[in-house]
Amino acid sequence: MVTGLLTPLVLEGQLSVIQMEVNGGASIPVAEFAGAEGWEGEASTDASFGVHFALTSGRLGYLVGFSEHRFKCPNVGCGAETDLVSTSWDIGLRINLRTSGVLPWLRLSAVAALLEADLGTAGSQGATVREESDRGWGFEAGAGILIPVAARFGLSPGVRYGKVDVELASRGVLQERYVIIDLGFVLGF
């Protein structure tokens, strides 16, 4: 009886072949952001969000989407209070370990990211100095579950590890290493 209460209403159904997923959560640095001059040190946790589309056939899903991961870099490690925003396009695969009911999944994506950094203020008027990196390439790998809630709606909590290196003209290569913990709201078409 108790297991019936914990099981989603649509156990034997599955979401549509075409899906849109909107994710929100936290981006957590797992190593010091190293390499770029003046930014050696720990960054801190901030918000993460993304929108992805999936085309699913059986256990395999093809993903394409957009993500934004934010980090704060406090005075101690970066030399100045800095906001770091990593914006990326992702393309990848998701493997569903089942075909119906609650679906555990594994995911691997190639990531093309740009990093924007607020470098503090300059000049007599206190204008914010902002720098954007060249496009950096990396990957994200993760796991989670897709829980069908209704015929065309599901929830998908997950965790991903990401590794991307980007180059800033004034400071060199910055090595981003992070974990994303988020919740996805999945809509099937």
Q: Is the pLDDT of residue 148 over 90?
A: yes
The whole-number pLDDT of residue 131 equals 80
Q: Which of 8-12, 38-42, 48-52 has the highest mean pLDDT?
A: 48-52
Q: Is the pLDDT of residue 54 over 60?
A: yes
Residues 172-179 have a mean pLDDT of 88
Confidence of residue 60 (pLDDT cuts 50, 70, 90): very high
Q: What is the mean pLDDT of the chain?
A: 83
Least confidently predicted of 71-75, 76-80, 115-119? 76-80
**By the 8 A CB rule, do 173 and 164 touch?**
no
Q: Which residues, 6 or more positions from 41, have their beta carbon under 8 angstroms from its beta carbon?
A: 32, 33, 73, 74, 76, 77, 78
Residues 15-25 have a mean pLDDT of 92
Q: Is the pLDDT of residue 161 over 70?
A: yes
CA 99 to CA 12: how far, in whole Å? 9
**Number of other CB atoms surrounding residue 171 within 10 Å:** 16
Cα–Cα distances in Å, from 7 out to 1, 3, 11, 18, 147? 10, 6, 7, 24, 9
β-strand partners of 133 = none
β-strand partners of 156 = 184
Q: What percent of the chain has pLDDT over 90?
A: 54
CB-facing half-sphere around the CA of 20: CA atoms within 13 A: 4
The whole-number pLDDT of residue 75 equals 53
Tell which wins on pLDDT, 91 or 169: 91
Confidence of residue 14 (pLDDT cuts 50, 70, 90): low
Confidence of residue 96 (pLDDT cuts 50, 70, 90): very high
2-188: which CATH number, 3.40.50.2020, 2.40.160.20, 3.40.50.2300, 1.10.1270.20?
2.40.160.20
Confidence of residue 44 (pLDDT cuts 50, 70, 90): confident
Q: Is the pLDDT of residue 2 over 60?
A: no
User: For residue range 99-145, what is the model confidence (pLDDT) as tens digits?
Assistant: 888 999 999 999 999 988 776 555 556 666 678 889 999 999 999 99
